[in-house]
Amino acid sequence: MTSRHQKYPNDPRVKIILPLTKWGFIRDHWFGIEGADSREELQQVIESIYKRKVSDDEMFYPHIGDFKEE
């Protein structure tokens, strides 16, 4: 799973796009599905991607699919 601000339905790796979900929920409940070992690790990863603090209330579309790095 990967979470994005926009929907990417044309990405061939995407199988399902879930409704908008608060970042805090994604981080606290789905950190493992996102590929992190802990909530703290996922928070560090998202903040390194966006180069800023990502708040618990920020909304994302969780994308489920095959996002394994090759």
62 with 7: CB under 8 angstroms?
no
pLDDT per residue over 26-52, tens digit each?
999 999 999 999 999 999 999 999 999
Question: Of the candidates 13, 33, 30, which has an alpha carbon nearest to the alpha carbon of residue 22?
Answer: 30
Note whether residue 9 is domain-resident: yes
Work out the average pLDDT over 51-63. 98
Q: Is residue 16 part of a domain?
A: yes
70 assigned to some structural domain:
no
Domain assignment of residue 8, given as a range: 2-65
pTM for the predicted model, two decimal places: 0.91
Count of structural domains, the chain: 1
Is 52 contained in some domain?
Answer: yes
Largest CA-CA distance found in the chain, in angstroms, rounded: 32
d(CA 39, CA 41): 6
Amino acid at 60: F
In a domain, 39, yes or no: yes
Closest by CA to 61, choosing from 30, 18, 1, 28, is 18
For residue 69, what pLDDT is reported? Answer: 66
25: three-class secondary structure by DSSP: helix
